[in-house]
Amino acid sequence: MALCTTMNSNLNEESVQHDIQSSLDEILSMMSLTTLNITLNINAINHIQINESIARSFSTEGFISKSNATTRFIQQSNAKAQFEQSAPVVTQEELCSTIIPNGSDLVHVTNEHHQRHYSTKKAYRYCPKKNILSSPPMGYKPICVQLLARHGSRTFINSHDYDGQTMQIWQLAKEKNMLTPLGEQLKEDIELFIHENARVGSGELTQVGKEEHFGLGNRLFNRLKPLFTSSNTVSVITSGVKRVVDSAREFINGLTVHECNIQVSNEKPSKSLLHFHKLCTNYVTFKKQNSHIKTKVNTIKNSEQTKTYARQVLRKIYKKEFIEQLINGKYQMNSDENVDPMETNRPTNELDIVVWLYAIFSVAPAQVHSYLAKMLAKYFNQEESMWFAYINDAEEFYEKGPSIEGTTVTYDMAKPLLTHFFTSINACIEATSNVTAHLRFAHAETIIPFATLLQIPNFSDKAVHHSDVYTYDNNRWRGDKIAPMAANIQWEIYRHEDNNELILVRMLYNEMEVRFKQDCKPVTYDSFFYDFNELKRSYESLLSQ
């Protein structure tokens, strides 16, 4: 049974609340029904909270089942709120992506985030019920941990003047009276976004990013407490970039919040180890000169599907006649020095404008203010955001990830970092150092090649054939899984308490257990623990190639 009611937008908040309560009373009297969905559109409510106990009611299958229906109020991008009363099955993924603990017995629901796609700009989400870890084999105790983490959620990096070029187009449309009602709002929305960018700093860590890393550090401490004593040392190394340094600081704050006697050694920043993509000559040459990669990415960018979605977005902002002029290449914006020289002399088209807009608003989840956090959802629906996330994913995949079969330059530059992992672990095993945690903080440009080098099965290991094009259908590689904000790779090292020669290692990716590369075998078929010496030999053969 389903009932849909649209409420008068002129009702005041008090009358709306009364009608909601009446509807709730009616619904509750019908709770014996096994299936019930009621949707009401409401103008007057900004958001509502639900009881945190919902989030604790997961079954092992990843769903919750409750005898009473749950209540959710979800703010919409059009300033309406949606009330949904539904019978009792909610997926674990939905709850984990929409429910954020706020320190009380209530949680806020902000449903916009998981309804849009942000590629590598997605904010980090930790779900305790999803990240259940297996116990180490009997007799094994942790002796050290290795970590590589991307910086947390940040503001927009305006290196290509996307906002300026977007505003030039908008101003032309304004002068020609070619804006839609939504389009009239775009200038103010961009100015609000850029104002917040300026307040925090371009490309700098936001409060969301700080909380991501504080949580990571705190959970590491709670998971491996024996490693963090006053007699041991935690080594911290960063790329030296401010947002990365700030992320490391917040991580340590979380790590030490309950144990202030932990010894922390801040090492000298290392761009060669953690920001290598700009220093590797082979890679820089590859990125500039490999026309095959450029062709693959441009095939996707200039596809009919991209044009279709771009025009859908533009129709929300500009009138038909103006869009036709854009499609026909009537306008040419001033290009900046960071734009590909091959692209600077062509007219601006409809694809450029939407790519710019997506780039500006794709960092929306990093924003603290709810209006800014929902900005992408205001202009892009779910399918549109997924397609432009795919374009971003394709570029990352080809230029930093598995790329085309036989291409190794995209991740060869991460080999010194993998060597650093093994060197640090050996020092711990051989007791030549009292450092029990090596914490490295870097960028997506570090995480993606490193993950590719590790060849994690069905995750970061599959390149595409040179005659194929990367798609979501033929490859599982996803930017929002490989390198969301605060993405992290952790290796935990365990030693048997009765035999020092027995060393195991487990890898966590974004705090979830994952496998090492295909030819590495775990201690049992269903285990995530691997013999360290066998693992080392397997990766050393890769490092020597």
pLDDT of residue 346: 55
Give the Cα-Cα-Cα angle 190, 195, 197 (nearest 5 degrees).
95
Give me the count of residues in the chain: 545
106 within 8 A of 72, measured Cβ to Cβ: no
User: Considering only CA atoms, which of 405, 541, 386, 365 is closest in space to residue 472?
Assistant: 386
Residue at 195: amino acid letter: H
CA distances (Å), origin 124, targets 66, 149, 454, 486: 28, 11, 21, 6
Tens digit of each residue's pLDDT (9 = 90 or more) over 235-259 = 999 999 999 999 999 999 999 998 8
Q: Name residues whose C-beta falls within 8 Å of residue 131's C-beta, 6 or more positions apart in sequence.
A: 511, 512
Residue carrying the six token digits 């103010």: 188
Residue 151 token pair: 């910086």
Domains, the chain, with CATH or none: 128-154+205-300+382-544 (3.40.50.1240), 158-204+318-378 (no CATH)
Q: Name residues whose C-beta falls within 8 Å of residue 538's C-beta, 6 or more positions apart in sequence.
A: 516, 517, 519, 520
Residue at 7: amino acid letter: M
Q: Which residues of the chain have pLDDT under 50?
A: 1-110, 112-114, 335, 337-339, 341-345
In 422-487, at which residue ranges do the beta strands (DSSP E only) sit?
435-442
Q: Name residues whose C-beta falls within 8 Å of residue 485's C-beta, 6 or more positions apart in sequence.
A: 120, 121, 122, 123, 124, 150, 151, 152, 153, 154, 209, 212, 365, 366
pLDDT of residue 26: 41
- Please count the CA atoms within 13 angstroms of the CA of 280 that sit on its side-chain side: 22
Which DSSP letter does residue 318 get? B
Q: Name residues whose C-beta falls within 8 Å of residue 450's C-beta, 6 or more positions apart in sequence.
A: 148, 411, 414, 417, 418, 489
Residue 414 token pair: 């991460």
Tell me how far apart the alpha carbons of residues 508 and 492 are, in angstroms, rounded to a whole number.
8
N-terminal to C-terminal alpha carbon distance within the chain: 63
User: Considering only CA atoms, which of 29, 82, 80, 88 is closest in space to residue 57?
Assistant: 88
Tell me how far apart the alpha carbons of residues 409 and 280 are, in angstroms, rounded to a whole number.
10
Tens digit of each residue's pLDDT (9 = 90 or more) over 392-403 = 999 999 999 999
Residue at 378: amino acid letter: K
87 within 8 A of 33, measured Cβ to Cβ: yes
pLDDT of residue 332: 67
Number of H helices, E strands in the chain: 21, 17
Is the sign of the CA dihedral 168, 174, 178, 182 positive or negative? positive
pLDDT of residue 317: 98
What residues form DSSP beta bridges with 491? Answer: 146, 507
CA distances (Å), origin 204, targets 123, 198, 208: 14, 10, 11
